Amino acid sequence: MPYLQKSKSVFFATLVNRKRHSYGISKNISHTCNSAPNFPLQKNHARYESEIHKSGSRFKPAARALVHLIRECGNSGWFLQGEHLHCHVLKSGYASDVYVSSAMILFYVKLEAISDARKVFVEVSEPSLVSWNTLISGYVRCKESTKALNLFIQLERSGLCADAYTFSAALSACGQLSLLHFGQSIHSKIVRHGVECSVVVGNSLIDMYGKCGCAQRSIRVFDGMMDKDRISWNSVIAANVRNKSLETAFAFLHEMPNPDTITHNELISGIAQFGEIEDAIDLLSKTPNPNSSSWNSIITWCVNRGKGDQALECFCKMHISGIRMDQFTFSSILSGTANVAGITWGRLIHCCTVKHGLDMSVVVGSALVDMYSKCGKVNRAEALFETLPTKNLVTWNAMISGYAHNSESHMVFRLFERMKMETDLHPDGITFLNILSACWDRRTPLEVARQYFESMVKQYGICPTAEHCSSMIRLMGREGEVDGGEKMIRDLGLDNCAMVWRALLGACVACGDIKVAEMAAKKVIGLEGESDFVYVVMSNAYASHRKWKEVKGMRMLMKERHVMKECGHSWIEV
């Protein structure tokens, strides 16, 4: 077909251009595409490499050899060599071969180059069911579940009959998106196609219903399965844990033949989220061969609930137990250290990351930048940031936030401009929250702050949150435009959010607008009830206008309603 021939030429040209960029080639591109890929020397490849080399461009390598080499590239993570093989596929005319094209799609899926996998799929005039399944599962693997379900619908319209693996991938996509009704419709199709007896499909149904909040349906599917494997048991336990049915999950644990570490980890994670930490630690002590995931759940629970000391205690026990720590262990404990600004512990944990060879990973590196920033060591954070070989959005936000929290507002704007120059990286709501915070610290004109806010909404499509609105209100209050703040609250539909009304109340006090302050105070009391914040702020506002009668009235109301001003406190590391 002319269209497919044209698409093939465009895709081939794209691959050749990549080779030119990757290898620094400016001439003799045909030689690059006709020669064999530069594989690491392994005996499994020797026979196939010599076969491809035999006659240069005049020899068409066997499809079986190509499939084997493509699979090896995917399994070993050799992206450039795999692309080089793709050139061979296109040059030798095997692009339409169902086995070769399926292998190429799987290669790109394994290396998470899902857009390239899609391009290969489109080039195949009549893709096999294996090709469809590979791309659908690839989208699920890359968390692009909507695209996976759209492709599933296209498959149904193509005339091919879906199999157990197709349904399993589609059910996983429904689970990721919590699309219960879509999942139920797929369940109906499974029954019509007669594949409900498949263990793989049954496990996927249990998982889907669990993620969609239907633990009872997960149990019904589990009970109806004639054959159950370990994944079946773990899936039904996970479904109940996810829906806070811990007693039922424990009942399945006691019934399960030979529960493994994964089984116990599911329960430890569930107890850590929804139960008592002591119970989770007790179960951990009874877990056969606990691994890093077992400990990570407990450490993360402690960090998320502000129990930094307990998190550090678990971290030490994990270290003494000889359990190998992974990047998620260090990321969690560094977050807990950052929250309490424990620089001594932070440095010790940094040393551990170096010993484990994880200090340069993007997950741990981002956590280190955040930890040093929150401990006031912004120069150390900056040095780490610049040396990280790979940075993601979390890394950039950690550094921008570090500058903002350490009152280096000029560096916030400078780094933000650098970030905008990065390809495939776009600021998110957290980025702009730090930008607006820097606008406050640097006393940036309100008009400039408005431009950043409008850019967030119009250019990047980010929906403003209560935090963004509160930041803008504070900036407006500094310039006496509290009426604009009230309008913004209503325009953004945040009338029932106490946070924004508290921000408006504070802004009114700053600019001396008693009338709007009284209205905001009523809103806060209506949404949050009696609190010392409103009375103290209003008392101070009246005092600033020398309205001593109103000040006295506020103090009397506090006394009558037993509202006490909370005592201030501070802490230091010793």
The domains of the chain are located at: 60-139, 162-259, 260-390
- Would you state the structure tokens that stand for residue 405, as one six-digit string? 């929290």
Is 218 in contact with 210 (CB distance < 8 Å)? yes
Please write down the HEC assignment for all residues of 92-143.
Answer: HCCCCCHHHHHHHHHHHHHCCCHHHHHHHHHHCCCCCHHHHHHHHHHHHHCC
Identify the three-state secondary structure at position 534: helix
Task: Return d(Cα 403, Cα 415) in angstroms, integer.
Answer: 9
Identify the three-state secondary structure at position 462: coil
Q: What is the dihedral of CA 125, 129, 131, 134, to 10 degrees?
A: 160
Is 265 in contact with 237 (CB distance < 8 Å)? no
Task: Return d(Cα 573, Cα 242) in angstroms, integer.
Answer: 37
- Would you state the structure tokens that stand for residue 115, as one six-digit string? 């857009």
Q: Which residue has the tokens 């159950």?
A: 228
Q: Label residue 138 left, alpha or beta by phi (over 0 means left) and psi (-120 to 50 means alpha).
A: alpha
**pLDDT the model gives residue 6:** 45
**pLDDT the model gives residue 7:** 43
- Superfamily grouping for domain 260-390: Tetratricopeptide repeat domain (1.25.40.10)
Residue type, 321: S
Is 321 in contact with 350 (CB distance < 8 Å)? no
H-helix segments, 340-377 = 343-355, 362-374
Task: Return d(Cα 512, Cα 509) in angstroms, integer.
Answer: 5
Residues 6+ apart with CB under 8 A from 574: none
Task: Return d(Cα 148, Cα 381) in angstroms, integer.
Answer: 39
Task: Return d(Cα 190, Cα 221) in angstroms, integer.
Answer: 13
Task: Return d(Cα 354, Cα 370) in angstroms, integer.
Answer: 17
Output the DSSP codes for 243-304: TT-HHHHHHHHHHSSS--HHHHHHHHHHHHHHS-HHHHHHHHHH-SS--HHHHHHHHHHHHH
Identify the three-state secondary structure at position 515: helix
Phi, psi of 225, deg, nearest 5: -80, 130
Q: What is the dihedral of CA 493, 498, 499, 504, to 10 degrees?
A: 80
* Burial (CB count <10 Å: 0-12, 13-18, 19+), residue 355: exposed
Task: Return d(Cα 169, Cα 73) in angstroms, integer.
Answer: 24
Task: Return d(Cα 205, Cα 174) in angstroms, integer.
Answer: 10
**pLDDT the model gives residue 568:** 61
**pLDDT the model gives residue 483:** 83
Closest CA to 391 of 430, 355, 418: 418
Give the CA distances from residue 45 to residues 62, 73, 82, 145, in Å, rounded to whole numbers and listed in that order. 14, 11, 13, 36
- Would you state the structure tokens that stand for residue 351, as one six-digit string? 């040393």
Q: What is the dihedral of CA 288, 290, 295, 296, to 10 degrees?
A: -120
The upper half-sphere exposure of residue 511, i.e. CA atoms within 13 Å in the direction of its Cβ, equals: 21
Residues 6+ apart with CB under 8 A from 154: none
Is 276 in contact with 252 (CB distance < 8 Å)? no
> CA angle at residue 48 from 47 to 54, to 5 degrees?
90
Residue type, 118: R
Divide the 574 residues of the chain into consecutive groups of 10 and give the mean pLDDT of each group: 43 46 35 44 47 44 80 86 85 80 89 88 87 93 92 92 94 95 95 90 95 95 93 94 91 90 87 80 83 88 84 89 91 88 90 92 94 94 94 95 92 94 89 94 90 94 94 89 87 91 86 82 82 76 77 74 63 56
Identify the three-state secondary structure at position 531: coil
**pLDDT the model gives residue 9:** 46
Task: Return d(Cα 469, Cα 453) in angstroms, integer.
Answer: 9
**Helix pair 308-321, 292-304: axis angle to 10 deg:** 170
* R_g (Cα) of the chain, nearest Å: 30
